[in-house]
Amino acid sequence: MKIYNFSPGPACLSNSALNAAGEAAKEYNNSGMSILEMSHRSKEVVSLFEEGTANIKSLLSVPDNYHILWLQGGASTQFAMIPMNLIPKGGSADYIETGAWSSKAIKECAKVSNVNVIGSSKESIYNYIPKNFEQNIDSSYMHITSNNTIYGTQYKKYPKVNNPDGFLVADMSSDILSKPINVSDFGLIYAGAQKNMGPAGVTLVIIRDDLVGKNYSEIPTMLNYETHVKKKSMFNTPPVFSVFVVNETLKWLQSLGGLSEMEKMNERKAQKLYYEIERNSLFKSPIAEEDRSLMNVPFIFTDSSLNDADFLQFCDDRGLKTLKGHRSVGGFRASIYNAMPEVGVDTLIATMQDYETH
């Protein structure tokens, strides 16, 4: 039976990236060595990092005044690095709270600086993206979470920063590379790899050149962006295998026609799933229609007395795995990142229809 993995992350990867990972784990580029045992100082690995960086730049059309960094510590470490590096002493930043991940980012910012939560949808269990808020004119940046993995909301239009010296910062962990973006709208973009890019272990940071090396205060070496810019992400031993798999994913995306093509595919997959959720008498979406995510699609029973575990087992028996909603919201969640084939979504829809009539 064909298995489809709807996990929110670590998530399904393309067959081409997985096959290449299997080969490279055995032997990398006819070197007689596995990539897992290769020095990051070797010319093979240095050129792998250069290739990965060039592929990110080309897929996302990254302007020349931005740096690409391959870091460790997950998106969670960025929650602290961003305010440490980008807010002057006594300064502040604006945050929009759209879910558990932005709450965590806010908490970390509050440890090192003043934080203004200028918009929040917490009161309605984050089922929409707040759009009316007052920015603070002296805040260094505004932080958003572009796609909310747990609740299934996604920005369709990014807010503009009012402060002429300010900039937008986005946690794009769960929708990076799902569609084209205008990188110059942002001062900094970050994303853990393990949803739409590759395996866990590496975090992509795209940072505008003028934001590097501000050194407003003493920052531990590993937490200073300047360290990683100067050393081309090789200050310490980087996660080579994770970067390899990300680069294979980038090559796969290019072979499919790049991010405009991915956007079309992602829209098609999400639209048909949302259509079925609306049509099927058993299910409904808890999320405001205009903010529904193309990546993470939560849904619940219309009749709350029905048993979630029964539907999950029905799916599991048909090869549809990890559809349980996050423990904080319950119900179901289908994560349909780039690597989820359309036939996987079609199989889920057919299973929802079978469940309705069985």
Sites of contact with ligand PLP (CB under 6 A): 9, 74-76, 101, 145, 149, 171, 173-174, 192
Q: Residue 66 or 101: which CB sits closer to ligand PLP?
A: 101
Catalytic residue among 101, 269, 291, 324: 101
Q: Residue 74 or 330: which CB sits closer to ligand PLP?
A: 74
Q: Residue 28 or 141: which CB sits closer to ligand PLP?
A: 141
**Of the candidates 310, 329, 322, 309, which has an alpha carbon nearest to the alpha carbon of residue 348?**
322
Q: Which are the contacts of 62, defined by CB distance < 8 A and separation ≥ 6? A: 56, 68, 183, 206
Q: How big is the CA angle at 16 (ends 41 and 6), to the nearest 5 degrees?
A: 110
Question: What distance in Å separates the CA atoms of residue 130 and residue 121, rounded to the nearest whole number?
Answer: 6
Is-catalytic flag, 195?
yes
Is the CB of residue 101 less than 8 Å from the CB of residue 173? yes
Catalytic residue among 70, 94, 175, 195: 195
Nearest approach, Cβ of 298 to ligand PLP (angstroms)? Answer: 13
Is-catalytic flag, 171?
yes
Catalytic residue among 94, 171, 175, 291: 171
Q: Residue 86 or 193: which CB sits closer to ligand PLP?
A: 193
Residues listed for the chain: 358
Nearest approach, Cβ of 76 to ligand PLP (angstroms)? Answer: 3
Rounded to 5 degrees, φ, ψ at 187 are -85, -35
Q: Which are the contacts of 177, defined by CB distance < 8 A and separation ≥ 6? A: 59, 60, 196, 197, 249, 250, 253, 259, 262, 338
Q: Residue 14 or 145: which CB sits closer to ligand PLP?
A: 145
Q: How big is the CA angle at 5 (ends 331 and 68), to the nearest 5 degrees?
A: 105
Is the CB of residue 49 less than 8 Å from the CB of residue 43? no
For the annotated catalytic residues, the residue numbers are 101, 171, 195
